[in-house]
Amino acid sequence: MAEPDSIRIRPVRTDDLDALLVLAEGTGPGFTNLPSDRGVLRERIERSDALLAGEKLGGAIILGLELNGRIRGCGMVFPRIGVDWPFYSYRISYTTQRSSIDGRMVRFPVLTLTNDLEDCAEVGGLIVDPTLRRGGYGRLIARSRYLFIGCHRANFGQRVIADLRGWLDRGESPFWDAVGGRFYAMSFAEADHINGTTGNQFIADLGPRAPIYVNMLSHEAQRAIGRVHDDGRGAHALLVEEGFRDDGYVDIFDAGPTMIAMIDDLKAIRNLHHAMFAGTADDDALRDHLIAHGSGAGFCCVPGSIEAAGAQAVTDPASARLLGLSDGDRIGYLAI
């Protein structure tokens, strides 16, 4: 990991556009939160700025991992989904039927298109420069999203979801080929681009209304339902550790799992503390906490050391300097 005084997580700005585009170009298909389109990314940054200013809009607040002055990763927080257009998921349920002739019973899964998850918050868009993936940076970004939510708790509802990228076979989605591709007359890559740049209203316009019987799908498509993309296994593990659960919802494009949690039950929210800054201590302590200061566009958090006593806390000098702390400032902190 880089030197402690070179690491910050903060909302992205328009001058981070080039760095975000580099990240987006390395994500591959199926990652709709950060499309590799300069114009769309600029609009996403502007929308993030508006949300940070308090506007009630759809879209995401984008937090960037800054190393040595350059954005090398990001994570997103959607205060409320289903604002600009409906948020669709497939819900997995089961149907049991019994023959009146011989008593035989069969039980099979069914996919139903639903808007059950509207009004939830969402965490997503977790991307780390591939050269940094073994440095613990993904965990930093993941926890920073919950720290942001906790420091702005009144702006969020009761539930939060995480929509994980589904499994792909050499860049193609077996689930899309078996379901979406038959209704929308477009490839997975085309649908992925439309969803990432203009939203998924075409799902409502063209998609199947009747439940989908999973047994009618190809074996490959069935295996893909609820299966995480190979690059998403680490993110899935972090979500489970945080308190998310699989509640039977999957993505409408690639059938990746949608994880759900109650915000106040998240490990990070339960372990979040607040204190008044009371100065700095020796710089030798282990930097095992995320320390945050500021709100909205002024929010920033850094990995650092902290020692609390009652309602006051002292930090390492580097953290205090990066956060611009003065005696009496309110800070939030949680263990990494």
**Is residue 229 among the annotated active site residues?**
yes
For residue 197, what are its two tokens? 């740049």
Distances, alpha carbon 315 to alpha carbons 3, 35, 276, in Å:
16, 38, 11
SS3 70: strand
Q: How many residues are given for the chain?
A: 336
Q: Which of 229, 236, 289, 293 is catalytic?
A: 229
Pairwise CA distance, residues 196 & 333, whole Å: 33
Return the SS3 of 285. Answer: coil
Query: Which CA distances in Å does 27 have to 106, 234, 257, 318?
Result: 41, 15, 18, 32
Contacts of 38 (CB under 8 A, 6+ apart): 17, 21
What does R_g of the chain's alpha carbons equal in angstroms? 22
Q: Which residues are catalytic?
A: 229
